[in-house]
Amino acid sequence: MDISDLLSTECVIESLTVASKKQALQEIARKAAEITGLDERRLFDVLLERERLGSTGVGHGIAIPHGKIAGLDRLHGLFARLERPIDFESIDDQPVDLIFLLLAPEGAGADHLKALARVSRLLRDRTTCEKLRGSDNADALYGLLTEPQTSSHAA
C-alpha cells in the first residue's frame, strides 16, 4: 500500500494554526468532512473517542489520529503541518507539529492496520520529517509524503 492510495493533494494542509489538541482534531475533522462527504461532528466524535483510549501522539512531534467510520467507501488520509507545535499528550511528552489522519471503513480490518503501519514507517524516517517540517507548500509536502521510500533507516 502506497501513501498515494490514501492521500491526494487536497488532503494536505500546509500550515494549520491551532492552539490545542481538541482544536487540531476539530479542524482535521472539518477538512476530512469536505473530502469524504461525511458529517464533521461524527468524524470529530470518532477521533475524540479514539484519543480517550490513549493518545495517538506517537512521539518525535508526530501524531497519527485514526478511526473506523461507517459509510466510508475506502481508506482516507489527511496530512497537516502545524504552524506551531501543540501538546498532544504524546507518549514522549513532546509537542506535535506533524499530524497524519487515517480514516477507514468500518470493515477495513487488516487494510486499516497495514495503512497505519505504512504511515508510521514513513514518519519514523527523520530525514523525511525534517523535509516535511521545512516546507510550507502543499504540493511539495504531498511529493515528500508520496515519494517511494528508500531504505535509509535514519532512526
Radius of gyration of the chain (CA): 14
Using one digit for the tens of pLDDT, what is the confidence trace for 64-122?
999 999 989 899 999 999 999 999 999 999 999 999 999 999 988 899 999 999 999 99
DSSP-H helix ranges across the chain: 21-36, 40-53, 110-124, 126-133, 138-146
Q: Give the chain's end-to-end CA distance (angstroms, integer).
A: 22
Told to judge if 153 belongs to the known catalytic residues of this protein, a careful annotator would answer no
Residue 155 domain-assigned (yes or no): no
Reported pTM: 0.93
Placement of cell 461525511 in the chain: 38
Decide if 133 is inside a domain: yes
Phi, psi of 124 (to 5 degrees): -80, -15
- Is 26 inside any structural domain? yes
pLDDT, tens only, 123-145? 999 999 999 999 989 999 999 99
Q: What CATH number is associated with residue 27?
A: 3.40.930.10
Residue 113 lies inside a defined structural domain of this protein: yes
Query: Can you read off the three cell numbers belonging to residue 123?
Result: 514518519
- The fraction of the chain above a pLDDT of 90, given in percent, is 88
Q: What is the DSSP letter of 15?
A: E
Average pLDDT over residues 1-24: 94
pLDDT at position 134, please? 95
Whether 100 maps to a domain, the answer reads yes
Check residue 155 and give its pLDDT. Answer: 38
Assigned domain for 107 exists: yes
Grid cell for residue 19: 492552539
Gap between the Cα atoms of 96 and 34, Å rounded: 24
Q: What is residue 149's predicted lDDT score, i.e. its pLDDT?
A: 64
**Structural domain containing residue 57:** 3-146
Q: Active-site residue among 60, 66, 76, 153?
A: 66
**Is 14 part of a structural domain of the chain?**
yes
Is 50 within the bounds of a domain? Answer: yes
Number of domains making up the chain: 1
